Amino acid sequence: MTDVIAAMRERLAPLAAVRLEIRDDSARHAGHAGARAGGGHFAMTIVSAQFAGKRTMERHRMVYHALGALMKTRIHALSIAARTPEET
């Protein structure tokens, strides 16, 4: 596990995910402007009861808020699949 993924997992802990999968797709984007600047490309599946009653955009905002400064420094692109346990 990369240090970025470990940092992401740590920052997402308050969302109490029952399932959290993070994949580093940075190698697939080699040469891309964001990759050259040091930001990685990631894909995430996160399942949390805290997403209940929230629209997709609200769920994504919760993830972005939890990740904080990582979104401006270590993460260039993030694909998010955010679901409740009932939606899995």
**Ordered structural domains, the chain, with CATH:** 3-87 (3.30.300.90)
Of the chain, the end-to-end C-alpha distance in Å amounts to: 25
Q: What is the pLDDT of residue 32?
A: 57
Note the pLDDT tens digit of each residue in 26-57: 877 566 555 555 578 999 999 999 999 999 99
**Which whole number is the average pLDDT over 11-29?**
92
DSSP states along 12-45: HGGG--SEEEEEE-GGGGTTSHHHHTT-EEEEEE
Note the pLDDT tens digit of each residue in 56-86: 999 999 999 999 999 999 998 999 999 999 9
Which among 60, 34, 33, 35 has a CA at the least distance from the CA of 48?
60
